[in-house]
Structure 1
């Protein structure tokens, strides 16, 4: 977690407001798993009902663009390194852990969401919408965005299908029937 990143600070405040147990990971140094370095994550969460998550927070503005030319798309891009890192962390921490990309959308005026929108969170004079995607579902649907920068993203239809309010991830992972 970066203390100067207002999206991550807002996400931490959101977790505290829900009484969720977590460890905020210091991203100042690169993390190591065995003899290989791996992208640091932002939070290790042990939620109510035994939910266990490794989370990377992606801060985005909605709408994006400028006031003169707003972009009315819920940006969902990340790096392939983020996806790989979350999967590795979840695997190392154990089978109960799930990798999750948390999108903290800072809602830009004059755009307003209804007050009863799930996971709408007011913090320091800003309004955030907390959404999330399980990293395994993200990988399944992702498309390369920029080979040069190593970024990937989801097509709009896939994103709409798999995005959920973050609060839903605080329930335990569903048990798969064999």
Structure 2
């Protein structure tokens, strides 16, 4: 449910961190906002140091996000160097996923948002575009399924469904 470009990036990240057994190692990371240690997770931003897998620190990620656009020469329309924050990529993911027809409520679950409004606020598209993408997703799904699955239920079937 993501664009081919995002799938390629994610695939490269998984390949880079995958262990000898083919699995992404589980590492614990500090949640700076909650001030707790998260349970071990298959983090994509990790590296091996002294034989142990450790999460890449938020400081290292921020530093890389500052240096990479400048080194690449990428600029905005006003010819200013691009400036990214880690959270920007969460927004990019949600936008890309919804435009690639991932239903918004699934993006909500992936991002662990309590409200669909938060998820929809992350995406950089208008709600009508999200609705059309969602409808296109269902149209493609229905085209792949047998037509009899989409028939109107009989009165008996409906009554049986509703129960006594």
TM-score range, shorter chain: under 0.3
| Greater percentage in helix | 2
Q: TM-score, normalised by structure 2?
A: 0.22
Q: Which has the higher strand share?
A: 1
- Pair member with larger Rg: 2
